[in-house]
């Protein structure tokens, strides 16, 4: 049975900065942001792989929080890890682990973009085998597993290698898709878009205007094939492209080739690769200087993207929030929601700054999610009293004066009344345990 809940937000229904770049390491995010948001752009895209043996919570928390600060939309490509000459074949248990891990991350946007692995029509990307049937089954499992954690996950099928031949170690894309549909005719209804690798093949050196199935417009063939198999018209994410020639590839590609209205983003491979096979695609030289291709992308005029941001927590039905798909910092909602930094902790807060909202507070609510809180703002410093009336869960209190933490009380339960030991002008309430989890301490600055 096809899930009734699909990705809740159309990224093309608002101003969209389609420029992006592919990176390999979280430390490259700031440099990537400079490129994708250059020349007037905001909220460009970054594609980055996440390995199953590299799920360091602290590292990835910082990455996602920096995405919010730098106004970059992350696209996470799932990966296992290499064993001998092949990437280990993923299983539904890997999907569960990824879904659990990624559901705890502070995503900056409502849509949480996930690519379900990579070039699965190559045996070395699938445990040494070719199995479109297994991949289709995994896609279906992924929708169920990820949606059980959050309906904000926006799943993309893997970008295929469009240039491989039929052999014992590879399968041409059309036959790969054909076998997927033969095994599971409705598999594509379990994804919200598809990832495409639109290289100028053969040899990564063909003309940008090539109309070949293995060229820069290979995604058009994929769209045609999907339609012929009864698949809905899916949005396109070109998550890999690039050339080894010093030609105006991107100048012509962005302006004259990748003009299809269903393209959400183009993230060229690769921002930086010092050595190895990927170096020939790198947009920066070994010593970190911008090369010809980098400068091509940098000089393009870009738009100020306006994606729906996770901080708003707008109701999930699209018709109820169409009016809020403008830049939320300029909307009335900005009075109610803010992004707050306490020491090194970045969180989303709902603002209570009038008597009615301060009196209501969090009373009657069932829970507060991680990295969310309520900020009480007062007109002048005083020893304000807080009563835990009708609270259904315990809280940590962070007392603030002149944008600094001056007192902390943790694990406060109903029906306790709490008064600070000094005058404060703001109070932050978060779920019990968040203070310790995020190492909040007296003296931390508030930004």
DSSP secondary structure letters along 117-136: -S-TTBGGGTTT---HHHHH
End-to-end CA distance of the chain: 47
Count of residues in the chain: 447
CATH of domain 336-437: 2.60.120.1140
Strands 20-22 and 44-51: parallel
Q: What is the reported pLDDT for 286?
A: 86
Q: Is the pTM of this model over 0.85?
A: no
- Tell the burial category of 138 from Cβ atoms under 10 Å away from its Cβ (0-12, 13-18, 19+): buried
CA 146 to mean position of chain CA atoms: 14
Q: What is the reported pLDDT for 4?
A: 36
Domain ranges of the chain: 11-312, 336-437
Q: What is the reported pLDDT for 190?
A: 94
CA 355 to mean position of chain CA atoms: 37
Diameter of the chain measured on Cα atoms? 76
Please give the order of strands across the beta sheet that includes 44-51: 20-22, 44-51, 72-79, 112-116, 153-157, 193-197, 236-240, 263-266
CATH of domain 11-312: 3.20.20.80
Residue 180 CA to residue 230 CA, distance in Å, equals: 13
Give per-10-residue mean pLDDT for the chain (447 aa). 53 95 97 97 98 94 95 98 94 92 94 98 97 96 91 96 97 98 95 97 96 97 96 94 94 97 97 87 92 96 93 38 34 55 86 82 80 90 86 92 95 84 94 93 93
Residue 426 CA to residue 351 CA, distance in Å, equals: 10
Residue 233 CA to residue 217 CA, distance in Å, equals: 16
Q: What is the reported pLDDT for 271?
A: 97
Q: What is the reported pLDDT for 336?
A: 55
Closest listed residue to residue 34, CA positions, set 222, 298, 287, 417 = 298
Q: What is the reported pLDDT for 331?
A: 37
- The angle at the Cα of 358, spanning 352 to 361, to the nearest 5 degrees, equals 90
Q: What is the reported pLDDT for 339?
A: 74
């Amino acid at each position: 049975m096809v899930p009734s809940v699909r990705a809740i937000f159309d990224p093309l229904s608002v101003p969209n900065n389609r420029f992006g770049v592919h990176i390999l390491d979280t430390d490259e995010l700031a440099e990537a942001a400079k490129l994708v948001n250059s020349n007037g752009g905001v909220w460009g895209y970054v594609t980055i792989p996440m390995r199953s043996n590299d799920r360091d919570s602290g590292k990835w928390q910082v990455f996602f929080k920096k995405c919010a600060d730098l106004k970059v939309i992350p696209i996470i490509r799932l990966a296992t890890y290499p064993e001998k000459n092949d990437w280990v074949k993923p299983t539904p248990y890997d999907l569960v682990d990824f879904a659990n891990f990624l559901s705890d991350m502070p995503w900056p946007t409502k849509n949480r973009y996930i690519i379900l692995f990579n070039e699965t029509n190559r045996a070395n990307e699938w445990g040494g085998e070719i199995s479109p049937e297994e991949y289709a089954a995994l896609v279906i499992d992924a929708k169920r597993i990820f949606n059980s954690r959050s309906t904000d996950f926006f799943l993309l099928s893997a970008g295929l290698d469009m240039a491989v031949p039929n052999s014992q170690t590879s399968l041409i894309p059309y036959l790969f898709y054909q076998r997927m549909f033969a095994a599971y005719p409705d598999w594509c209804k379990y994804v919200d878009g598809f990832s495409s690798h639109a290289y100028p093949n053969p040899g990564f050196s063909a003309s940008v205007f090539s109309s070949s199935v293995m060229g820069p417009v290979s995604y058009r063939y994929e769209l045609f094939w999907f339609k012929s198999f009864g698949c809905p018209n899916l949005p396109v994410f070109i998550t890999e492209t690039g050339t080894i020639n010093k030609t105006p590839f991107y100048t012509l590609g962005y302006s004259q080739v990748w003009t299809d209205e269903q393209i959400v983003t183009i993230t060229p491979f690769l921002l930086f690769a010092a050595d190895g096979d990927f170096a020939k695609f790198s947009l920066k030289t070994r010593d970190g200087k911008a090369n010809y291709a980098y400068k091509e992308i940098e000089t393009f005029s870009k738009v100020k993207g306006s994606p729906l941001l996770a901080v708003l927590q707008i109701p999930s039905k699209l018709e109820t929030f169409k009016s809020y798909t403008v830049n939320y910092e300029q909307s009335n909602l900005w009075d109610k929601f803010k992004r707050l930094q306490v020491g090194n902790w970045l969180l989303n807060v709902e603002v209570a700054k009038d008597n009615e909202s301060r009196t209501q507070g969090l009373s009657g609510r069932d829970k507060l999610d991680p990295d969310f809180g309520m900020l009480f703002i007062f007109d002048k410093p005083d020893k304000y009293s807080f009563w835990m009336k009708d609270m259904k869960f315990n809280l940590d209190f962070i007392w603030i004066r002149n944008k600094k933490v001056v007192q902390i009380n943790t694990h406060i339960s109903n029906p306790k009344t709490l008064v600070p030991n000094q005058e404060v002008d703001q109070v932050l309430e978060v779920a019990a345990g968040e203070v310790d989890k995020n190492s909040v301490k007296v003296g931390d600055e508030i930004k």
